[in-house]
């Protein structure tokens, strides 16, 4: 049988034996794009060959799962992983190759692209097949604008996509057959001279309440300037069973020091049903991370604050007092 010449590959990054949520989003998008390209098919690529991840992805409507298994792939090292992906691409020649723009993807994708001398669109917010070419929608200038990036000649066409921004659920298999499992030759890794030595993994102190997956988020900006108002933000989130997030300017106030729940261009993109912005001014770098929220309420002292242009409901006033009143009503 002839190999399909137009495979759309999705890099299936795994953590603790499971593919990350962004992998599902990417497969859903790849399925959509594949629907528009005659003779194309979708495949997932797993390094390390985790069997739990393989069975997880086997239930999806994809043609193949490419695996590479080797001792050298046990811990992530960028040079080893990129060499493995380069080898697989050169052997199986996909037309497209998509990555989640995770910490790993943001390093592995450009490395692989440079090894292959091909183009890579970074941190895309959407991938659009227009019947002739794939337009990768890439935000720039802190999300003020979006550029179409396309890759006319080099192959594969590569793109990394921000986690949480595509949404979408991949189609499950309509038949009982499993995707074809292709095990790529890993023997070259035995002699691979890595310049990286993995020393240790330091898990973050945080619980698994990732803000990008939260349905309800209360977010603090620079306007949350008193201890009481910060308490109010946290109490409201707790009361609603939601997560607390913040803007970059809020980090500058010194009340929090980590970016794990920071919203925006260099932080997280939310997909919440309800977002309550408290004292957030609404710089473009922030609002590009809130575009997918369904209902947004914003409280700000300044009636001209940009945040209101990105909100369904606005309140001009003192955030501390208004949250006091809201918390009293909810008590």
Partner 1 sequence: MMKIAVCVKSVPDPEYYEKITLDPATKRLVRDGIPAVIGEADRHALEAALALRDENGGEITVVSMGPPAARRQLLEALAMGADRAFLISDRKVGGADTLATSYTLSCLLAKTGTYDVILAGNESADGSTAHVPSQLGVWMGIAHAAGVVSVSSDDKGLIVTKEAEGGLAKYRLRTPCVVAVTPKANEVRFMDVRNILAAKEKELQVWSAADVGNMDESFMGLAGSPSQNGEVFAIESSKNCRMLTGTESEIADQIVSIISGNSKGGEEA
* CA angle in degrees (0–180, nearest 5) for 167-168-169: 130
First to last CA, the chain: 67
Whole-number Å distance between alpha carbons of 241 and 16 = 26
Structure token digits, residue 188: 């070259």
Tell me how far CA of residue 93 lies from CA of 43, 80, 120, 129, 261, in angstroms. Answer: 12, 19, 16, 20, 38
Considering the complex, state which of residue 191 and residue 197 has its C-beta at the smaller distance from partner 1.
197
Collapsing DSSP to helix, strand or coil, 270 comes out as coil
Q: How far is the CB of 69 from partner 1 (least distance, A)?
A: 20
Structure token digits, residue 310: 């990105």
Q: How far is the CB of 146 from partner 1 (least distance, A)?
A: 5
Structure token digits, residue 190: 């035995």
Whole-number Å distance between alpha carbons of 81 and 162 = 20
Considering the complex, state which of residue 171 and residue 192 has its C-beta at the smaller distance from partner 1.
192
Considering the complex, state which of residue 106 and residue 182 has its C-beta at the smaller distance from partner 1.
106
Considering the complex, state which of residue 114 and residue 181 has its C-beta at the smaller distance from partner 1.
114
Residue 61 gets which letter from DSSP? S
Considering the complex, state which of residue 3 and residue 71 has its C-beta at the smaller distance from partner 1.
71
Q: How far is the CB of 105 from partner 1 (least distance, A)?
A: 10
Residues 6+ apart with CB under 8 A from 40: 4, 6, 7, 8, 33, 34, 95
Considering the complex, state which of residue 44 and residue 218 has its C-beta at the smaller distance from partner 1.
218
Considering the complex, state which of residue 61 and residue 126 has its C-beta at the smaller distance from partner 1.
126
Cβ atoms within 10 Å of 225's Cβ, excluding its own? 17
Q: How far is the CB of 240 from partner 1 (least distance, A)?
A: 7
Considering the complex, state which of residue 38 and residue 252 has its C-beta at the smaller distance from partner 1.
252
Q: How far is the CB of 270 from partner 1 (least distance, A)?
A: 14
Q: How far is the CB of 181 from partner 1 (least distance, A)?
A: 24
Collapsing DSSP to helix, strand or coil, 179 comes out as coil
Pairing of β 274-278 and β 295-300? parallel
Tell me how far CA of residue 65 lies from CA of 15, 16, 168, 180, in angstroms. Answer: 17, 19, 20, 6
Q: How far is the CB of 16 from partner 1 (least distance, A)?
A: 8
Whole-number Å distance between alpha carbons of 289 and 247 = 10
Q: How far is the CB of 151 from partner 1 (least distance, A)?
A: 5
């Amino acid at each position: 049988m002839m190999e399909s010449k137009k495979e759309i590959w999705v890099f299936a990054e795994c953590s603790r034996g499971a593919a990350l949520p962004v992998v599902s989003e990417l497969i859903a998008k790849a399925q959509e794009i594949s629907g528009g390209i005659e003779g194309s098919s979708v495949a997932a690529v797993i390094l390390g060959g985790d069997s739990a991840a393989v069975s997880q992805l086997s239930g999806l409507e994809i043609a193949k799962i490419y695996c590479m298994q080797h001792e050298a792939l046990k811990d992530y090292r960028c040079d080893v992983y990129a060499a493995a992906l380069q080898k697989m691409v050169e052997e199986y020649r996909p037309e497209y190759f998509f990555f989640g723009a995770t910490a790993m993807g943001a390093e592995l994708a450009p490395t692989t692209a440079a090894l292959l001398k091909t183009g890579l669109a970074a941190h895309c917010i959407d991938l659009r097949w227009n019947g002739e070419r794939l337009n990768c929608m890439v935000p720039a200038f802190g999300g003020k604008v979006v550029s179409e990036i396309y890759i006319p000649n080099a192959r594969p066409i590569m793109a990394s996509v921000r986690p949480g921004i595509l949404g979408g659920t991949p189609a499950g298999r309509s038949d009982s057959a499993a995707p074809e499992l292709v095990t790529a030759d890993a023997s070259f890794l035995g002699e691979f001279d890595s310049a990286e030595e993995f020393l240790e993994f330091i898990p973050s102190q945080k619980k698994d309440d990732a803000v990008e997956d939260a349905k309800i988020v209360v977010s603090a900006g620079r306007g949350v300037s008193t201890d009481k108002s910060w308490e109010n933000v946290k109490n409201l989130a707790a009361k609603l069973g939601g997560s607390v997030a913040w803007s970059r300017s809020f980090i500058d106030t010194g009340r929090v020091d980590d970016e794990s729940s920071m919203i925006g261009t260099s932080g997280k993109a939310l997909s919440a049903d309800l977002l309550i912005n408290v004292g957030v001014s609404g710089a473009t770098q922030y609002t590009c991370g809130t575009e997918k929220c369904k209902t947004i309420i914003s409280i700000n002292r300044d009636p001209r604050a940009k945040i209101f242009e990105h909100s369904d409901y606005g309140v001009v006033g003192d955030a501390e007092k208004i949250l006091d009143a809201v918390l009293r009503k909810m008590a």
